[in-house]
Amino acid sequence: GESVGLHLPTLSVQEGDNSIINCAYSNSASDYFIWYKQESGKGPQFIIDIRSNMDKRQGQRVTVLLNKTVKHLSLQIAATQPGDSAVYFCAENGGDDYKLSFGAGTTVTVRA
């Protein structure tokens, strides 16, 4: 039968490899971006954020890259581990001082 609902992009990655998750945002007024990780049965968990005055920001095993010219955001995870398996959401603020708009999410599966 026909599937309904959001069609989430998926990424399958070998344990130990690096992962890159991409996100295209829509609002050129957005000046704050954030990545969340959501494991099954849990709430979204903050990973890393970036403001529009930066192109790159690094955390522990994660790096966020922002390309404002093409309105593109990416999350790089180094040495992907089984615990990284989850749905990853990007969010933008659309220039608002409080509201976040969330993308549909990318499902990451780590192969042992």
Sequential DSSP letters for 68-106:
TTTTEEEEEESS--GGG-EEEEEEE-TT-SS--EE---E
Among positions 75-104, residues that touch other proteins (CB under 8 A) are 89, 93, 96-100, 102-104
State how far the Cα of 40 lies from the Cα of 29, in Å rounded to an integer. 32
80 sits in the region (left: phi over 0; alpha: psi -120 to 50; else beta) called beta
Segment near other proteins (CB under 8 A); pick from 15-23, 34-42, 62-70, 74-82 = 34-42
Residue 78: both structure tokens together: 């180094």
Q: How far is the CB of 35 from other proteins (least distance, A)?
A: 11
84/103 with CB nearer other proteins: 103
Q: Is 34 in the site for other proteins (CB under 8 A)?
A: yes
Can you tell me which of 46, 53, 60, 112 binds other proteins, judged by CB under 8 A?
Answer: 46
